[in-house]
Amino acid sequence: MGARNEEHGQRHSVITGIDSMKILDQAFAAVESFHPLSNYERETLLAKTREAAANGHFEPFKTSSIFDSTAENPQWLGEEPPEIRKLMPA
């Protein structure tokens, strides 16, 4: 399910598992009752969360490598091609 923010042209999605008719009905109700935030509501929300969002403290899965399986297994990436190795510091 997704909702489009017309002002900013962004699409926001929510992925939900549907394991019963009750949950399906709940998902449809959420879509049908959706309305975008007003500019004032959006700016108020952003102001409230700006400081917490500034350094990624609450999202280490986005701002660190501790949840990154590729960082833990660099062999998955293989060798860099010669043209990329030329760009790398010695």
Residues 49 and 85 in one domain: yes
Residues 73 and 56 in one domain: yes
Residue 79: is its pLDDT beyond 80?
yes
pLDDT of residue 38: 94
Residue 29: is its pLDDT beyond 90?
yes
CA–CA gap between residue 15 and residue 37 (Å, rounded)? 20
pLDDT digits (tens, 9 = 90+) for 36-58: 999 999 999 999 999 888 888 88
CA–CA gap between residue 41 and residue 47 (Å, rounded)? 10
Residues 26 and 56 in one domain: no
Distances (CA, A) of 78 to 43, 45, 51, 75: 44, 43, 39, 5
Please give the residue range of the domain that contains residue 88: 39-90
pLDDT of residue 47: 95
Residue 65: is its pLDDT beyond 90?
no
Total count of domains within the chain? 2
Residues 8 and 28 in one domain: yes
